[in-house]
Structure 1
Amino acid sequence: MLLDMDGTLIDTEPLWIAAETELVEAHGGSWTHHDGLQLVGKPMAVSAGILRSRGVDLSDTEIIDYLNERVRRGVAARVPWQPGAHELLLALHAAGVPQALVTSSFRVLAEPFAEAVGLFDVVVSGDDVTHAKPDPEPYLTAAHRLGVDVRTCVAVEDSPSGITSALASGARVVGVEVLVPVPARPGLSRVSSLTRIGLEDLARVAAGQVLDAGELA
């Protein structure tokens, strides 16, 4: 299993948007919830460039460090699990399924989360790869580190860029609709919540079936 973090497993998007808003407003600009949604799933460097275009007079590195620290504090205070996410990870672990965390967030945020959860065999963060999502490199890297063929893996994602990355890697993909719509795409299974998908459903997806919300238990 290859699993995205932000939005998919934990509800960090409100933390990211709050940090972005705080940063832009501190530099005299304005930032809306809609603006924040446009950054969902984007590489950190891309997000930093967009924030600079909105008036943030800092380097990419300074912006990225600021956002990561604000979100890290929020997650450290309380892991904001998405409904059904922790239960699914526990069920996969009990079934002996190897799990990789594949996230655009940097290791400074991903590693503490992975260590606290204690269920991931591999962590691939945004600063571990040359080409971030939507490039397939993160998912190909995760499968390689797990020692498996990516075509035998199921990836779970919530953002358009993450879904594009996972599909391009050759993995079977489940898209979870959280903050942004998940349109139908060839080979993409879709679900409204991780509470709606179980191990049997994931086995069907791994076998090549494309399932939609109405077909999931």
Structure 2
Amino acid sequence: MDGTLVDTEPYWMAAETALVESFGGSWTHEDALQLVGSGLLDSAVILQNAGVAMEPEAIVSHLTDVVQESLRTQGVPFRPGARELLRDLREAGIPTGLVTMSLRRMALNVVELIEFEAFDIVVAGDDVDNPKPHPEPYLQAAALLDVDIAEVIVIEDSPTGVRAGLASGALTLAVPHIVPLDHLGAHELWSTLAGRGADDLTDLFDSSTAVTGATR
């Protein structure tokens, strides 16, 4: 969600910076980059190490509240081409799921702001025992969609997300936003989703199947 569907990473980074500084610490852009795509509890431990004297669950709740307030007051900056691709997939009858390490309440809040029913299912950070880069989030999504993970295309913008997609056995498409994804082994790398549609994903899947044969 964050960085692939919506450009909320600046909101998260601002919330992290304010929280660390409120405890007398410092938080750089480079510090924030290491949390991109990570599970929130894992991120909370890193923030504790930066001086935030709060329990991990309290840190997650606080950051989620701050980012949700930013979404309410500053708007939801959708990533280029994301909504258009989702609409085309829906019209093509292709099942879609949102897999995010944000809390479910935040994920549903963002989904509700899309002007059509964009997803069949949502798997959030508090729905799984093991966050990305573990494959569990994507395997759970495939099970909820009742599809074979080998027939899934994962679209990711973060290193942890790409690793999760690859570990799950899905065809993994990297679309970098804040951090580079060039050398992570993604099956395909697109610079943007703008101008892309269901046919592009179908072609990507078909070409991958042709190359890997019976393995996909």
The answer on whether the counterparts of 1:139 and 1:169 sit within 8 Å (CA) in structure 2 is: yes
CA distance in 1, matches of 2:183, 2:92: 30
Give the direction of change, closer, same or farther, for the CA distance of 1:165–1:208 in structure 2 (3 Å limit): farther
**Residue 213 (structure 1) aligns with:** none
Aligned twin of 1:178: 177
For residue 80 of structure 2, give the secondary structure of its aligned residue in structure 1. coil
TM-superposed CA distance for 1:196, in Å, is: 4.9
The structural deviation recorded for 1:116 is 2.7
Distance 1:207 1:167 in 2: 18
In the other structure, the counterpart of 1:115 is 112
1:37 to 22, 33, 36: 33
Q: CA RMSD in A?
A: 1.4
Shift of 1:187: 5.0
Change (3 A) 1:95 1:48: same
User: Which position in structure 2 is the counterpart of 1:92?
Assistant: 89
The CA distance in 1 between the partners of 2:81 and 2:158, in whole Å, is: 18
SS in 2 for 1:123: strand
Structure 1 gaps of 5+ residues are 211-217
The letter of the residue matching 2:18 is E
TM-superposition CA deviations, 1:39-62 (whole Å, max 9, x none): 101111111001010111111011
Query: CA contact under 8 A between 2:103 and 2:126: conserved in structure 1?
Result: yes
- 1:196-215 paired onto structure 2 within 5 Å: 196-209=195-208
Tell me what 1:22 maps to.
18
Amino acid at match of 1:169: S
Residue 141 (str. 1) matches residue 137 (str. 2): no
What's the secondary structure of 1:86's corresponding residue? helix
Contact 1:129 1:137 survives alignment (8 Å): yes
Paired residue secondary structure (1:116): coil
Could you say what secondary structure the match of 2:42 adopts?
Answer: helix
Query: What residue in structure 2 maps to residue 61 of structure 1?
Result: 57
In structure 1, C-alpha distance between the alignment counterparts of 2:3 and 2:31, rounded to whole Å: 16
Q: How many residues end up aligned between the 2 structures? A: 206
Query: Which runs of at least 4 in structure 1 moved beyond 6 Å after TM superposition?
Result: none
Deviations 1:21-41 (A, max 9, x none): 010010001111111111101
Match of 1:75? 71
C-alpha contact (below 8 Å) 2:23/2:51 kept by paired residues: yes
Partner of residue 103 from structure 2, selected from 103, 106, 111: 106
Give the secondary-structure state (helix, strand or coil) at the position aligned to 1:10. Answer: coil
Look up the match of 1:129.
128
How far is 1:200 from its partner? 2.1
Q: Is contact 1:191-1:197 (8 Å) kept?
A: no
> Unpaired runs of 5+ in structure 2?
210-216
Aligned residue among 4, 8, 11 for 1:8? 4
Aligned equivalents of 1:149, 1:22: Cα separation in 2:
42
Match for residue 162 of structure 2? Answer: 163
State the AA in 2 paired with 1:66.
H
- Following superposition, the deviation at residue 186 of structure 1 comes to 4.0
The aligned residue for residue 212 of structure 2 is: none
The alpha carbon displacement at 1:197 in A equals 3.0
Q: Paired residue for 1:48, among 29, 37, 44? A: 44
Tell me if the contact between 1:172 and 1:205 (Cα under 8 Å) persists in the aligned partners: no
TM-score, reference length from structure 1: 0.91
Q: Measure the CA separation in 2 of the matches of 1:185 and 1:36.
A: 20
Instruction: Report the residue type matching 2:164 in the other structure.
Output: S
TM-score (norm 2): 0.91
Change (3 A) 1:73 1:185: same
Q: Which moved more, 1:65-74 or 1:184-193?
A: 184-193
